[in-house]
Amino acid sequence: MTTTGTPLTPPTESTRTGLYRIFVRDLVVPWHIGIYDHEHNGPQRVRFNVDLLAREASEFDADKYRQVVCYASVVEQIRGLANEGHVNLVETLASRVADLCLADERVVEATVRTEKLDAIEGISSVGIEITRRKHAAAEDANRIVHLAGDSS
């Protein structure tokens, strides 16, 4: 089969609007967390799984470290939160991690799963998962959904 037409060219800075995903899997950190008396005696193991959606930089293909969201920095910041004292709820903890990640101007969405590994005997974990979006990103997503559903 023969095809004709213009060869594909990379997008220019003005046309690039891509997103990319950064993830951290199974980060386990000792954490002072919980509402029960026995949970105030010492740290518990907490597992984090984080998915971030970030805007692709215009120079993404230039292989420049400073153009991307660094997963090692995300890990370091989560570990740093552990030093800020006792947290009662996994919901609070997940929210703080999401806020920390969304502080990076490139990140438009953060999904954080937080699990206590030692909370209930006989099960591997209990926890929650939240997804937070920056306001503009949520508006864009709603607009796309609306346009996709518009049949006119």
Instruction: Please state the φ and ψ torsions of residue 82, each to the nearest 5 degrees.
Output: -65, -20
- Per-domain residue ranges for the chain? 19-143
Give pLDDT tens digits for 54-98: 998 766 566 677 788 999 999 999 999 999 999 999 999 999 999
> What pLDDT is recorded for position 57?
78
> What pLDDT is recorded for position 142?
59
> What is d(CA 114, CA 27) in angstroms, rounded to the nearest whole number?
10
For domain 19-143, the CATH class is alpha beta
Residues 6+ apart with CB under 8 A from 77: 100
> What pLDDT is recorded for position 14?
45
pLDDT under 70 in the chain at which residues?
1-17, 58-63, 136-152
